[in-house]
Amino acid sequence: MEKAKVYFTKEITKESLIKIYEKVGKELTGKVAVKISTGEPAGRRNTTEEHWKAIKEHGFMDIANVDIMDEDGDMPIPVRNGLHLKENYVGAHLANYDSMLMLSHFKGHAMGGFGGALKNMSIGVSSSGGKAWIHTAGKTRNPNELWANLPEQDHFLESMAEADESVIDYMKGNIVYINVINNLSIDCDCDSNPEAPCMEDIGITASLDPVAVDKASLDLVYNSEDEGKQRLINRIEEKHGIRTVEHAEELGIGTTNYELISID
């Protein structure tokens, strides 16, 4: 596979976000979903009603139309090459969209090691039951049974990559991936009480390749001169986070062979 192009800017502003999207060179058409995380207000996204409250509290309703994709249930979509999953369960509203901007906050994660485009497209797009399905590597869709059915760590990470394959297939590749690499805590936005950031902001990466954009983001952390990076690297490595990237490449949905192109 030829080198993927990953664009990079050190500037983190609304203007640079638009600029880097334009540099990627793919216009998202039709009804476009901008996939983000709404953040976790102390464990209160467990019902649709509470999720709407969190969305309002965090200001999203002031800037955009908001859609909780599994508000009206979920739907299965096939996984072509899964070792663990043969189907993925996503919010039923995914059927309403023609293309997607995968806008991810790149940072650490307590279970996956790190979160970026691949996590946002798997866990983030899945329904409530689909999240349990991925976390348990296809054992259960019941969130109440999740913790009693946790698989080997690599099986969970591979299941995220397999869910990614299904979403890419369903969207027919009409996805642009942007990682905002700032507020670099070892914890995710889904943590209501995350640890404070351990290193300085890095910038924004963008690509048409989800594997390349996450690998480039990881490399920017590893190659940083910021001494605080070791805290985040330790979290990534203790959870073997690179396995999600590796398996996604094995599935053929992207490549770790990339060219980093500065737009500054």
Per residue in 14-47, is it b (16+ CB within 10 Å) or e — as a string? eebbebbbeebeeebeeeebbbbbbbbeeeebee
Say what the pLDDT of residue 61 is. Answer: 60
Domain span at residue 169 reads 4-262
| pLDDT per residue as tens digits for the range 125-181 | 999 999 999 999 999 999 999 999 999 999 999 999 999 999 999 999 999 999 999
Share of the chain above pLDDT 90, in %: 82
pTM of this structure:
0.93
To 10 degrees, what angle do helices 210-222 and 229-238 make? 130
Contact at 8 Å (CB) between 109 and 98?
no
CA 138 to CA 59: how far, in whole Å? 35
Nearest residue to 249 (alpha-carbon basis) of 205, 207, 209, 211? 211
Which residues are CB-contacts of 88 (< 8 A; sequence separation ≥ 6)?
76, 77, 78, 79, 122, 126, 130, 133, 134, 162, 163, 166, 167
CA 193 to CA 63: how far, in whole Å? 25
| pLDDT per residue as tens digits for the range 52-74 | 677 677 666 667 788 888 889 99
Following DSSP, what letter does each residue of 173-234 receive, concatenated? T-EEEEEEE-S--SS-TT-SSPPPP-S---EEEEES-HHHHHHHHHHHHHT---TTHHHHHH
Read off the CATH number of the domain in which 161 is found.
3.40.50
40 has pLDDT over 90? no
| pLDDT per residue as tens digits for the range 220-261 | 999 999 999 999 999 999 999 999 999 999 999 999 999 999
Q: Do you know the residue count of the chain? A: 264
How many separate domains does the chain show?
1
Contact at 8 Å (CB) between 182 and 172?
no
